[in-house]
Amino acid sequence: GQQVMQIPQYQHVQEGEDFTTYCNSSTTLSNIQWYKQRPGGHPVFLIQLVKSGEVKKQKRLTFQFGEAKKNSSLHITATQTTDVGTYFCAGPRGTGNQFYFGTGTSLTVIP
């Protein structure tokens, strides 16, 4: 069935470096959400993208939805130690409206 894959699985960066995670779907997505989960914590909603080619920014975070609505990316500029965690994209599967999580990218920021 439809799966949402993320790359890379793990990423270690020096504080101040940029970071990008990519989310790829085998089928067209009606929309996509992004969540962050800190170590030992629970997922926290970051954003939802709906339109083809949509770009949204939240301070140092930039989210993009691909033109074909099959991929999405999250870019963090000048990472900080507070950015540590696992970033998940989540998209609907099949004809349902429920969101299923991608495989996630675990970000480590080295001070």
Q: Of 82 and 97, which CB lies nearer to other proteins in the complex structure?
A: 97
Q: Of 20 and 106, which CB lies nearer to other proteins in the complex structure?
A: 106
Please, what is the minimum distance in Å from the beta carbon of residue 37 to other proteins? 8
Q: Of 38 and 57, which CB lies nearer to other proteins in the complex structure?
A: 38
Cβ atoms of residues 72 and 50 within 8 Å:
no
Please, what is the minimum distance in Å from the beta carbon of residue 3 to other proteins? 11
Single out the residue of 11, 6, 9 nearest to residue 107, CA to CA. Answer: 11
By CB under 8 A, the residues from 10 to 69 that bind other proteins are 30-31, 33, 41-45, 48
Strands 71-76 and 61-65 turn out to be antiparallel
- Alpha-carbon gap, residue 86 to 65, rounded angstroms: 19
- Alpha-carbon gap, residue 78 to 67, rounded angstroms: 26
Encoded one letter per residue, x for contact with other proteins by CB under 8 A and - for no contact, window 75-104 reads -------------x---x---xxxxxxxxx
Total chain residues near other proteins (CB under 8 A): 21
**Reduced to 3 states, what is the DSSP secondary structure of residue 1?**
coil
Cβ atoms of residues 63 and 47 within 8 Å:
yes
Binding site residues, other proteins, CB under 8 A: 30-31, 33, 41-45, 48, 88, 92, 96-104, 106
